[in-house]
Amino acid sequence: MPIDLTPSDRAESWRARIAAFVDEVVIPSEQEAFRRGVDDELRTRLQAAARAAGVWAPQAPAELGGGGFRFDEVAMLLEEAGRSLLGPLALNCAAPDEGNIHLLATVASSEQRRRYLEPLVAGEIRSCFAMTEPPPGAGSDPAALRTVATRADGGWVLRGRKHLITGADGAAFAIVMAKDAVGDGSTMFLVDADNPGLAITGHARTIDTTTVGGHCQVSLDDAFVPDDAVLGEPGAGFRYAQVRLAPARLTHCMRWLGAARRAHEIALDRAVGREVFGAPLADHGMAQQLIADNEIELAASRALLLQTCWLIASGDRGTEASSRTKVFVSEATARIVDRSVQLCGGLGTTEELVVGRIYADIRAFRIYDGASEVHRMSIAKRAARRARQRTAGGTPA
């Protein structure tokens, strides 16, 4: 089957509008955000501007007011939004809401869609996804889940601790992953922020600072939720996590590819404009190697990402392909930004030049949605399983 990655005229029109919007509206807001922090006031203002510019939620279903684009076209649009760390927030395609929109659109009941999905797509509320736990609980190993859901009259009681829950402070609801107290299954629950058993108990001080609502510790102390708070089917939580996590890995890749591209653009402009040792920096061999390696890895990351997104848009689950892509793009973009800092010299470490802020924020990408090491383990196991199947019966591959 041929792979055609030519964007539609509509997608190309949106790409141009997003690029203009990011340059003219979002980027001018960056320094204010870096100085005083990213909060809901800034989010609301930028999102109102995005709606007015006709670039709202390109990844969300069209019937809910989003762009309704194919996943391979979403890759192009979210890369463009990601050129500013504030761009995905403005377009309502930032984590964790973007992943939760996809999960709810796929799994939620009609009443859950009305109550949670519709206002989330509209930008009226924020959400969070509560799976990660303090050690020895779930992190890279979801099977280590320790938060427990116990059956009660008319619903469930949740008990446990979560941490590093992105956007929890100010979120209207959380999607909470818990294991069954009497079985090995896991279940997702929709827990409203005003549930008396749910509390935010602290904020982690992380190296990234451009997420509304921070990265929080959350406690669930006898939090009762009714039966209709179950997202999907009881016991199917791990299966639904894959519905969310595989595409979310790739949307992270899209956004961070845009940020790495921005860092490279800033560094390249500085390299051609700054004269050192009697010549423009861009004319020196060592600088040229940094520039060339950035160009190569930007192109390679985009090609791999688009191929994987095309697979998913064509109906493939993309589990292994998304793991390969996440590892490669997370590590390549980190190298791109690192080289960009080096090209910019001392100013590259500053927020004023933005490259320093991107450098700090992008580091965590190699950990969340599956650390590189975990994805490599999964990729290697799949490769070894295929090799054993080929050589079954002693026949060499």
Domains of the chain: 9-94 (1.10.540.10), 127-231 (2.40.110.10), 238-390 (1.20.140.10)
Largest CA distance in the chain: 79
pLDDT at 244: 87
pLDDT at 397: 46
pLDDT at 114: 98
For the chain (length 397 residues), average pLDDT per consecutive 10?
Answer: 80 98 98 94 97 98 96 97 98 97 96 98 98 93 93 96 97 97 86 98 94 97 98 93 89 98 98 94 96 98 96 89 97 98 96 96 94 96 94 62
pLDDT at 360: 96
pLDDT at 317: 85
- Indicate the angle between helix axes 319-344 and 285-313, nearest 10 degrees: 160
- State yes or no: cis peptide before 96, omega within 30 of 0: yes
Residue where the block lists tokens 């090799």 = 387
The answer to whether the CB of 71 falls within 8 A of the CB of 309 is yes
Q: How far apart are CA 327 and CA 261, in angstroms?
A: 18
Q: Which two tokens stand for residue 131?
A: 């799976």
The answer to whether the CB of 103 falls within 8 A of the CB of 243 is yes
pLDDT at 94: 97
The residue type at 334 = A
Left (φ > 0), alpha (ψ -120 to 50) or beta: where does 393 sit?
left
The answer to whether the CB of 148 falls within 8 A of the CB of 181 is yes
